[in-house]
């Protein structure tokens, strides 16, 4: 029981840590239109399709922060959701890139693509379609 409580406490610490990370923005190609938080959540949780999704690696703190802010789900929940979609062929999982620079490059190259990076990493090659303040 004590161990369980420790784990819970640890989990909550991690969540708090993630929320304090650098501000996250959702980016698209310079030609793309703004999106709402609900639209972004639907896309990244596989509820709607039509965009190519670019993801950050699981080791990047921004990943947990993004999913928490956009959907309220932690990474294990997101993973469980996607395992259901993948193994039933309902949706194609987001493509994982190495870091924010790689995400930016992929998004800049294809108008049907969205991803997320730190606000400080935004430059002219991409457009902010949603600011997760």
Partner 1 sequence: MRKVIAVGVAAALLHAPAQATDLGNLFSNVDFSLTGYGTAGTVLTSTDSAVFIRGNEASGATQSFAENVDSNLGIQATARFNSWLAATVQVEDSKDALTGVVPWAYLKVDPIDNLSVKLGRVEMPIFAISDSLDVGYANVWLRPPQEVYALSNLKELNGAELSYSLSLGGTHLTLTPYVGDTVIWTQRYGQMTGNDARGGELKWDTEWVTLRAGWAQAHVDGNILIENIPVGPIPTPLGDVTAYIPYNYYVEDVYSFEGVGALVDHNNIIAQTEWVKRYSHNYPGSVNATGWYVLGGYRFGPVAPYVSFAKTVKDHNDGYTAAGTLSDDQSTTAIGVRWDAFKSADIKLQVEHVNPEGTSGVSFAFINSPLGLLPATPAGSVNVFSLTVDFIF
Q: Which residues bind partner 1 (CB under 8 A)?
A: 4, 7-8, 10-12, 14-15, 38, 41-42, 47-48, 50, 58, 72, 74, 76-77, 79-84, 86-90, 92-93, 95-96, 112
Between 93 and 121, name the residue whose CB sits nearer to partner 1. 93
CB 103 within 8 A of CB 66: no
Task: Please say whether the dihedral angle defined by the alpha carbons of residues 94, 98, 99 and 105, taken in this order, is positive or negative.
Answer: negative
Minimum Å distance from CB 104 to partner 1?
20
Minimum Å distance from CB 124 to partner 1?
27
Tokens of 11: 């989990």
């Amino acid at each position: 029981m004590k161990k369980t409580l420790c784990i819970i406490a640890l989990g909550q610490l991690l969540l708090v840590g993630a929320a304090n990370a650098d501000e996250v923005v959702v980016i698209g190609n310079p030609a793309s239109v703004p999106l709402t938080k609900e639209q972004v959540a639907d896309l990244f949780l596989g509820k709607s399709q039509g965009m190519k999704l670019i993801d950050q690696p699981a080791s990047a703190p921004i990943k947990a922060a993004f999913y928490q802010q956009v959907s309220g789900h932690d990474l294990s929940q997101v993973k469980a959701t996607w395992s259901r979609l993948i193994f039933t062929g309902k949706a194609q999982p987001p493509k994982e890139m190495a870091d924010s620079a790689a995400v930016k490059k992929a998004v800049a190259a294809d108008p049907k693509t969205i991803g997320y990076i730190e606000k400080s990493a935004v430059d002219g090659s991409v457009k902010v379609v949603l600011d997760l303040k």
